[in-house]
Chains A and B, each alone.
Chain A
Amino acid sequence: MEIVVCIKRVPFTQEVDLEIAPSQKDIVKEGLAFVLNEWDNYALEEAISLKERLGGQVTAVLIGSEEDEEVLRRALAMGADRAVRVDPGDVYLDVRGISKILTRVVKDMPFDLILTGAQADDTNEGCVGVMLAEELGIPHASVVKGIEVLDRTLRIRVELEGGTEEVSTIRLPALLTIQTGINEPRYVSVMGIRKAAKKELKVFSLEELGLDSESIKPDSIVERLYFPPEQGGAHMLTGDPATVAEKILKILKEKGVIQ
């Protein structure tokens, strides 16, 4: 099975104080650690384990700068066969623009299946995968939590709310957006990343793909970022750990859940 996986590198923002850039339209990215988007890690693992069972090749595609290439190298180390990066330069991209670039890249590749993460950790739009499928005119399903390969169709499980899952079949070629927890992504060692350095990684500019800024014009533009309004919020318990523990126990007693 020929599989294409679209991935993204995102800033790691847990336990980090974010700063808004002077433009107000983005965060200050200097000094932040960057990682492979969590959902994309599961999508990659799913693609690679399907390939290992069924044969075929996995191609990882990313739109980003040279710095973002590290997650493509990681994908190659996980078991992807080749990687493609599109360098968009300084062009402002929204989900629509990204899906148009991906369409241009993927259109000429042989594929049975395209996987993307269900959403990205940074701006969580959850749009690119389905937009790409629509541009390509292929069937799609979102928030997929299980894949079973039948003959030219897949039986898939889609995660809905409250523990309900929807089982359906979908015709190939198709695009699926992958939910976390679908598998257990494999560990990637530094050694593995070094070894994978020999694998093919192609880079294209927008011009080389025959795209100009007009053809990838955004549908939406971020006007400003701001911090959440300070309202309500928790009463902070302070003091040394023993004092805090005492305060917590007092609350538990007052609420009647402990004696």
Chain B
Amino acid sequence: MKGPILALVEHRKGEIRDITYELLRKAHELSQRAGSDPICLLIQAPGQGLEAGLKGWAKKILVIEAKGCEVFNSELYKAYCLEALRTLEPFIVLLPHTPWGMDLAPALSVKAGLPLISDCVDIVLENGDPKAIRQIYGGKLYSQVAFRPSSTYLASMRPGSIQVEGNPGYETELLSFDTQTPIRAPSKTFEEFVETGQGDVDISQAPFLISIGRGIGDEERIQEVKDLAEKLGAILSCSRPIVDKNWLPKYHQVGTSGKTVKPKVYLALGISGAFQHVAGIKGSGTIIAVNKDKKAPIFRAAHYGVAEDLFTIVSALKAKIGG
């Protein structure tokens, strides 16, 4: 029998993050295929009680409680994960490919001497061996990647890539794990969380968004879209590159690192559709995308598409509404 499938819990400010349930769902599915057990690894501060939100999601929950673990710290997490790995000898370890997971997974891989494939959208078993499915070149291609043979495989999963079809409903057994890792002060010290992105408009509540991306090309030309948005009664939003260039303030940014939006209509102009952006617009009623690259990934997320230069369409729209 294969070792268990282990999934790591990510939590912030006392709340379990959504990616955790995605990892647990995948662990459930893989364990059924491999004929092994799904185990959940929870690292938290003493008495934090997050295990309550994980009931039914795995066969066992391994709880490591340690001072300072109410906030993620990759040094502490690495040490505790390593200890858990040595005890459990898992077949596959599923980690989040989030900013925190990106800080942990590669370090754990080196320290444990175990192969890691990062930013996976799926893990499949081929003749019993795990293979990673990844998206590359901005989502234009998929790649299937094999691990070097190992006893344990590490995979970090892209948020939003696994469908969470409910709680598998295990009779969950709680195991508290007494860590032998000596406590020493980590070289990185948490100070505080800061919320950015508050501003004059709240794009997360807007019923109609016109959103611009890299395709706008030139800061000067934003005005042309602003005019159109004003005439149509839409709020202007944007993708990450526009905020990176300081062309619009952060509170206009749509996507995982910006705001999640749910307008009735989302009109995307010159946005290629990086997964971080697409994750932020999934709740939109209707998505219309205009992009001159007919292979742009945004067309896989959109309901309607126009393979055309955005300014051509902006001008045509203005002409029709009399502007």
Contact = CB atoms under 8 A, between A and B. Distances in A.
Interface of A: 11, 13-18, 20, 27, 95-96, 99, 118-119, 121-131, 133-135, 139-143, 155, 157-171, 174, 177, 180-181, 184, 217-228, 231-237, 241-242, 244-249, 251-252, 255-258
Nearest to B258: A163
24 contacts: A125-B119, A127-B118, A134-B111, A163-B253, A164-B195, A168-B188, A169-B189, A174-B187, A219-B109, A222-B145, A225-B142, A225-B144, A231-B300, A234-B303, A235-B304, A241-B313, A244-B306, A246-B320, A251-B265, A256-B264, A257-B207, A257-B233, A257-B234, A258-B233
Given A15-B293, A167-B191, A234 B147 contact: no
B293 A168 contact: no
A224 B133 CA distance: 10
B300 A235 contact: no
B257 A162 contact: yes
Q: Which 3 A-B pairs have the closest CB atoms?
A: A234-B305, A163-B197, A181-B244
Given A20-B141, A161-B99, A162-B257, A140 B286 contact: no
Contacts, number: 277
Interface string B280-297: 000001111100110111
Instruction: Decide if the interface of chain A is mainly helix, strand, loop or mixed.
Output: mixed
B180 interface: no
A171 B304 contact: no
B177 to A, nearest CB: 23
A27 B141 CA distance: 9
Most buried by B among A27, A157, A241: A241
A160 B132 CA distance: 25
Given A236-B307, A241-B313, A249-B317, A180 B244 contact: yes
Most B Cβ at <10 Å: residue of A14, A184, A251? A14
B233 A15 contact: no
Given A13-B138, A14-B293, A237 B257 contact: no
A226 B141 contact: yes
Contacts of B313: 241, 244-245, 248
Contact of B118 (A16, A126, A167): A126
Contacts of B288: 248, 251
Nearest to A42: B244
B295 A17 contact: yes
A124 B258 CA distance: 19
A158 B98 CA distance: 12
A35 B102 CA distance: 24
A96 to B, nearest CB: 8
Given A17-B295, A122-B137, A248-B313, A134 B106 contact: yes
Interface in B264-323: 264-265, 267, 272, 285-289, 292-293, 295-297, 299-300, 302-308, 312-313, 315-317, 319-321
Interface of B: 12, 74-75, 97-100, 102-103, 105-107, 109-111, 115-119, 131-132, 134-148, 187-197, 207-208, 214, 232-234, 240-241, 243-246, 250, 253, 256-260, 263-265, 267, 272, 285-289, 292-293, 295-297, 299-300, 302-308, 312-313, 315-317, 319-321
Nearest to B186: A139
B300 A232 contact: yes
Contact of A225 (B75, B136, B208, B317): B136
A125 B118 contact: yes
Given A163-B258, A168-B191, A257-B234, A244 B308 contact: yes
Nearest to B312: A241
A119 B103 CA distance: 12
Contact of B102 (A121, A142, A221, A223): A142
A178 B194 CA distance: 18
Contacts of A131: 106-107, 109-110
B292 A160 contact: no
Contact of A248 (B233, B250, B306): B306
B132 A220 contact: yes
Contacts of A11: 137
A139 B136 contact: no
Given A14-B272, A134-B107, A135-B110, A223 B188 contact: no
B111 to A, nearest CB: 6
Contacts of A236: 299, 304-307
Contacts of B234: 257
Contact of B320 (A124, A157, A226, A242): A242
Nearest to A241: B316
Contacts of B232: 252, 257-258
B317 A248 contact: yes
A76 B103 CA distance: 29
Nearest to B190: A168
Contacts of A231: 300
Given A163-B250, A234-B302, A221 B258 contact: no
